Amino acid sequence: MNGDNSSPEGLAALESRLARGLAQLNYPPVNWVPEKVGRDGRIAADVLIVGAGMNGLCAAFALRRLGVANIRQIDMQPKGQEGPWLNYARMEYLRSPKHLAGPALGLPDLTFQAWWQAQYGQSGWDALGYIERRDWARYLTWFARVTGATVQSETSLTGLRYEDGLITASAANGGNEAQIFARQVVLATGREGQAKPRIPIPFAPHLGAGVQHSSAPLDRAGLAGSRIVVVGLSASAFDNACLAAEAGSDVTLLGRAPHLPTVNKMKQTVYPGFAHGFPNLPGTDRLAWLRMVAAARVAPPRHTVQRAARAGVKVELGVETDEVVRADGALKLITSKGVFTADRVILGTGFRFDFAGVSELSGFASRTLLWRDLAVAEGPEDELLDCPVVGPGFELRPKPGHSAAGFNRIRCFSHAAQPSLGNLANDIPQASEGADRLARAIACDLFIEDADYHRRQLEAYSEPELLGDEYP
User: Quick one: pLDDT at residue 76?
Assistant: 96
User: Would the pLDDT of 217 be above 70?
Assistant: yes
> 42-70 pLDDT, tens per residue?
999 999 999 999 999 999 999 999 999 99
Q: If you average pLDDT over residues 366-387, what whole number do you get? A: 91
CA nearest 147: which of 29, 18, 31? 18
If residue 411 lies in a helix (H) or strand (E), which one and from where to where? strand 410-412
pLDDT at 219: 84
Q: What is the mean pLDDT of residues 352-364?
A: 88
More confident residue, 342 or 355: 342
List the one residue out of 349, 264, 268 whose CA is nearest residue 300.
264
Identify which has the larger pLDDT, 202 or 220. 202
* Average pLDDT rounded to a whole number, residues 352-366: 89
pLDDT of residue 2: 44
Is residue 16 very low, low, confident or very high in pLDDT (cuts 50, 70, 90)? very high
Report pLDDT for 49: 98
What 8-state DSSP symbol labels residue 35?
P
| Opening angle at CA 263, ends 215 and 383, nearest 5 | 50
pLDDT at residue 3 above 80? no
**pLDDT > 90 fraction of the chain, expressed in percent and rounded:** 88
Q: Are 231 and 331 in contact (CB under 8 A)?
A: no
The whole-number average pLDDT for the span 32-40 is 93
Asked if pLDDT for residue 4 goes beyond 60, the answer is: no
What pLDDT score was predicted for residue 359? 85
Quote the CA–CA distance of 204 and 209 in Å, as a whole number: 10
- Measure the CA–CA gap between 151 and 419, rounded to whole angstroms: 29
**Angle, vertex CA 358, rays to CA 354 and CA 361, nearest 5:** 130
Least confident of 378-382, 390-394, 407-411: 378-382
Q: Is the predicted pLDDT of residue 99 greater than 90, yes or no?
A: yes
User: What pLDDT, on a 0 to 100 scale, did the predictor assign at position 28?
Assistant: 92
Report the distance separating Cα 313 and Cα 414, nearest Å. 33
* Cβ atoms within 10 Å of 358's Cβ, excluding its own: 21
CA max distance for the chain: 104
What's the mean pLDDT in 311-338? 96
pLDDT tens digit string along 262-305?
999 999 999 999 999 999 999 999 999 999 999 988 999 999 99
- So what's the pLDDT on residue 192? 86
Q: How far is residue 372 from each of residues 105, 193, 278, 440, measured CA to CA in Å?
A: 34, 19, 20, 28
Please tell me the predicted confidence (pLDDT) of residue 381.
79
pLDDT at 174: 87
Q: Which tens digit of pLDDT belongs to each residue from 108-121?
A: 999 999 999 999 99
Task: Work out the burial of residue 433: count CB atoms within 10 Å of its CB; fewer than 13 is exposed, 13-18 middle, 19 or more buried.
Answer: buried
Amino acid present at 186: V
Looking at residue 6, what is its pLDDT? 60
Q: Under a CB-based contact definition with an 8 Å cutoff, are residues 62 and 69 in contact?
A: no
222: Cβ–Cβ under 8 A, 6 or more apart, which residues?
none
State the pLDDT at residue 221. 82
Compute the mean pLDDT over every residue in the chain, rounded to the nearest whole number: 94
Q: How far is CA 143 from CA 71, 152, 274, in A?
A: 17, 16, 26
- For 161, counting Cβ atoms within 10 Å of its Cβ (0-12 exposed, 13-18 middle, 19+ buried), the class is middle
Pair 313, 245: CB distance under 8 Å: yes
Are 353 and 416 in contact by the 8 Å Cβ rule? The answer is yes
Rg of the chain over Cα atoms, rounded to whole angstroms, equals: 25
Contact 434, 421 (CB under 8 A): yes
